[in-house]
């Protein structure tokens, strides 16, 4: 597959699995076009043209000619200078590496992470939280994330990839959308009286989570008791990064009984405890691996070989 085809397949998968549906994605792309049309001519050079066709700012080709052929890729959850040197060392030892594919974003894809966070408000709306509330609190949280990443050395890995002549791409929200939909479908299929233990058992049947159990990072109950009934389960595995703490109360009021997430900070957990919402953390890297695997299946169909590193475990569903 060409690098361009790999990138386009990731974006396509993300759109197919996006909680907002086609109308929501069309609205985002329309707003991007309107932003460009409204820009003064002297500022148009600043505009990210990819936003006209790709609604996920955290998924980009960071280094490399889009027309190169990719036969084997090195895939990791986090790709830094060390993983890029690993790829270069593998090449020295005769193992061709045509692309390094990261899950977590780098470069501009990292510093503009806040642009993908709006989807969280749309997810909450499905559970009865008013969209006006979601948009308002997410706007504040997005500004906070923008300020946080603005000072990061976001070009470190990108510069190293360029010096090593290694194509580099990141695929974040398309993978997160995929794992979110995959796990939510399985949660929805559980009995209405399913307990937290039942949710754990379901998760541990999934190969990526089963592997995580063996590594000590499998699904665990962060809040609640194993015998408690889960109630309405909301899977919270997409939207860039954690949303605002205060949204927990609104989710509880709307009727959410259990949150199943990749990870959860202590402040969010304490708020969930106060609101009597159960919390199951499925595992960060295991969830990321599952999401990436659901995207990478299409690459394997195209004949691309995968070498796993940096917390990623390849599980094929072909």
pLDDT tens for 259-283 read 999 999 999 999 999 999 999 999 9
pLDDT given at position 220: 98
Average pLDDT estimate for 189-215: 98
Share of the chain above pLDDT 70, in %: 100
User: What pLDDT, in 10s, does the model give residues 90-149?
Assistant: 999 999 999 999 999 999 999 999 999 999 999 999 999 999 999 999 999 999 999 999
Mean predicted lDDT score pLDDT of the chain:
96
* pTM of the complete model: 0.96
User: What pLDDT, in 10s, does the model give residues 148-168?
Assistant: 999 889 999 999 999 999 999
Going by pLDDT thresholds of 50, 70 and 90, the confidence category of residue 194 is: very high
Cβ atoms 307, 296 nearer than 8 A: no
- The candidate with the shortest Cα–Cα distance to 79, out of 307, 317, 316, 315, is 307
pLDDT given at position 258: 98
Going by pLDDT thresholds of 50, 70 and 90, the confidence category of residue 247 is: very high
pLDDT given at position 276: 97
For the segment(s) 179-284, the CATH number from 3.40.1390, 1.10.287, 3.40.50, 1.10.3430 is 3.40.1390
Edge-to-edge order in the sheet of strand 60-63: 60-63, 168-170, 99-102, 72-76, 305-309
**Cα-Cα-Cα-Cα dihedral sign, residues 286, 292, 297, 299:** negative
Going by pLDDT thresholds of 50, 70 and 90, the confidence category of residue 240 is: confident
Q: Three-state SS for 292? A: helix
Q: Provide CB contacts within 8 A for 225, sequence distance 6+.
A: 196
pLDDT given at position 241: 87
Average pLDDT estimate for 19-28: 95
User: What pLDDT, in 10s, does the model give residues 81-92?
Assistant: 999 999 999 999
Other CB atoms closer than 10 Å to residue 122's CB: what's the count? 19
pLDDT given at position 5: 98
Residue ranges of the domains in the chain? 3-173+287-309, 179-284
Other CB atoms closer than 10 Å to residue 74's CB: what's the count? 26
């Amino acid at each position: 597959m060409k690098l361009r085809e790999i990138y386009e397949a990731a974006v396509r998968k993300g759109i197919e699995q996006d909680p907002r549906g086609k109308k929501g994605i069309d609205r985002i792309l329309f707003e991007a076009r309107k932003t460009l049309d409204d820009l003064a001519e002297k500022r148009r050079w600043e505009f990210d043209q990819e936003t006209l066709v790709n609604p996920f700012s955290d998924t980009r080709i960071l280094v490399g000619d889009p027309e190169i052929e990719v036969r084997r890729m090195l895939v990791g959850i986090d790709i830094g200078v060390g993983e890029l040197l690993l790829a270069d060392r593998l090449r020295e030892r005769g193992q061709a590496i045509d692309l390094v594919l990261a899950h977590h974003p780098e470069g501009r894809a990292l510093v503009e992470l806040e642009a993908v966070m709006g989807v969280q408000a749309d997810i909450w709306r499905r559970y009865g939280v008013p969209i006006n509330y979601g948009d308002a609190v997410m706007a504040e949280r997005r500004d906070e994330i923008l300020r946080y990443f603005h000072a990061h050395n976001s070009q470190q890995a990108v510069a190293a990839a360029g010096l090593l002549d290694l194509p580099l791409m990141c695929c974040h929200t398309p993978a997160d959308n995929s794992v979110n939909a995959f796990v939510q479908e399985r949660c929805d299929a559980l009995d209405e009286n399913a307990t937290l233990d039942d949710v754990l058992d379901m998760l541990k049947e999934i190969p990526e989570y089963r592997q995580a159990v063996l590594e000590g990072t499998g699904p665990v109950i962060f809040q609640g008791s194993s015998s408690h009934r889960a109630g309405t389960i909301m899977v919270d595995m997409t939207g860039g990064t954690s949303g605002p703490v205060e949204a927990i109360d609104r989710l509880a009021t709307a009727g959410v009984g259990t949150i199943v997430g990749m990870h959860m900070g202590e402040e969010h957990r304490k708020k969930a405890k106060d609101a009597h919402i159960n919390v199951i953390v499925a595992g960060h890297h295991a969830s990321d691996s599952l999401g990436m695997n659901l995207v990478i299946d299409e690459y394997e169909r195209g004949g691309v070989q995968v070498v796993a590193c940096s917390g990623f475990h390849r599980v094929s569903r072909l």
